[in-house]
A = this chain, B = another copy of it.
Amino acid sequence: MQTQIEQIPGYTYGQVDPSPVSEADLDLLKQTVLFSDEDVQYLRLAGIILEDQTDAVLDVWYGFVGAHPHLARYFGKNNNLDANYLANVRRRFGKWIMDTCTRAYDQDWLNYQHEIGLRHLVKKNQTDGVDAEPIIHFRYLVAFIVPITATIKPFLASKGHSASKVEKMYAAWFKATTLTVTLWCYPYTKAGTF
C-alpha cells in the first residue's frame, strides 16, 4: 500500500502543514451535514465497492470536464491542455475517492483537505510544476458537489447490494463530499469569515 501511495505524484497525505480547522470545528460541521457513525460504516462499504471502479468513475468525471470547455480550461492555458497535468491530478482524484471512503476524519485528514484547497488557489500548478490557469474559480468547487455526488450512485449499485444499502452509501457519500468541499473552500474566504 505504501509503495502504491508513493507512486502517486504529489500525493503528500500526512506530510502537509496544519489546517486552520480543528477537530472540534469538524465535529460541528459533521453535525451540520448530519454525519453519523452509520455514515462512516457505509463509506467503508462504498470503499470496498468502489476500489476496483475508481478508473471508471474518473472516466465519467473527466468525460464531463472534457466535454465542458469552461471546466477543462483549468488543466492548461489558452485552451492548450496539459496531458501530464491531467494525468497526475486524475491519479490524486482517484486516491481522494478511496481516502474519502476509508480514512479516519482526523487532524491529518483535515490538514490534507486544506492542502487540496490551497492547490486549487494559491498553490495551483506548483505541485505538478505546470504553467496552467492560475486558479480554479470558487464557483466550480461548490457546484461540483452535484456531479461528484450524482454520478456515483450507479457505481455503488453495480455490485448487487440492496436498494436500501445503496441509498445509505449514497447519502453518506453526499455528506462526505459536501464536508470536504466546504473545507477546500477555506483559502478562498475572506479573513475571519470561514
Contacts and interface: CB of A to CB of B under 8 A. Distances in A.
Interface of A: 25, 28-29, 31-34, 68, 70-71, 121, 135, 137-140, 142-147, 149-150, 171, 174-175, 178-179, 181-182, 185, 188-190, 193-194
Assembly stoichiometry (copies)? 2
Contacts of A138: 185, 189, 193-194
Contact of A31 (B68, B137, B182): B68
B188 A139 contact: no
A139 B190 contact: no
Given A150-B171, A171-B150, A185-B138, A32 B193 contact: no
* Most chain B beta-carbon contacts within 10 A, residue among A121, A190, A193: A193
Nearest to A21: B139
A34 B142 contact: no
A31 B70 contact: yes
Q: Is the interface of A mostly helix, strand, loop or mixed?
A: helix
Contacts of A179: 143
A19 to B, nearest CB: 12
Contacts of A71: 32
A43 to B, nearest CB: 14
